[in-house]
Amino acid sequence: MNEKLQNAIQVLQQKYGCEAHVHRGEHTLFMSADNLFEASQVLRDDFGFNLFASLTATDYWPEEEPRMHLSYQFFSIEHNMHLRLRVPLAGDNLNVPSIEKIYPNANWYEREVYDMFGVNFDDHSDLRRILMPYEWEGHPLRKDYPLGYEEPQFTFNFDAIDLRKPKATE
């Protein structure tokens, strides 16, 4: 099992020149956005990673280079191994090819990352917002988006906060 995983990592490293990283027993490969589609195809067809477990993103604002990292988690059921691909993205170029054609599963995951982070997926069949209302502006999970909490009003600052609060227009 471990040899197959090492084999897969070595093949991908040779083909795409990506770094490998091991932390707490988990293997991660840093991949660039251009190679992602082919690498996923290689993983599914040649190495048996048939379950696409998860896709998520982390925002590193205020660093602009890289601004975000996408984390793709793959799992192989027959060989029982996990692999993670990490794709760093620069702040002015948040475009990634969609892997929906390889893993049909990825459809909603990519919609969620688009909704929450604003990452654009090329060739996605249906890129719309999924968790927020359709006409919402902004991408909530970015670090420069405020939490939007209601401030607790004590007696000493009650009026000051009241001025800032949006009021319902009658």
Q: What are phi and psi of 159, to 5 degrees?
A: -70, -35
* N- to C-terminal Cα separation, the chain: 66
d(CA 143, CA 60): 7
Q: Nearest distance from residue 72's CB to other proteins, in Å?
A: 11
CB of 116 to other proteins, least distance (A): 8
Residue ranges in contact with other proteins by CB under 8 A = 23-24, 26, 50-54, 56, 58-59, 71, 73, 77, 80, 82, 84, 103-105, 107-109, 112, 125-126, 128-135, 140-141, 145-150, 168
How far apart are CB 14 and other proteins at their closest, in Å? 25
Q: How far is the CB of 73 from other proteins (least distance, A)?
A: 6
Does residue 17 come out as left (phi exceeding 0), alpha (psi in the -120 to 50 range) or beta?
left
Number of CB atoms found within 10 A of residue 36's CB: 19
CA distance 25 to 86: 16
Distances 46 to 2, 12, 35, 119, 145 between C-alpha atoms, Å: 16, 11, 16, 29, 41
Residue (38 or 82) nearer to other proteins, CB: 82
CA nearest neighbour of 91 among 61, 121, 127:
61
CB 142 → other proteins: shortest distance, Å? 9
By beta-carbon proximity to other proteins, the closer residue of 14 and 168 is 168
Is the CB of 15 or the CB of 104 nearer to other proteins? 104
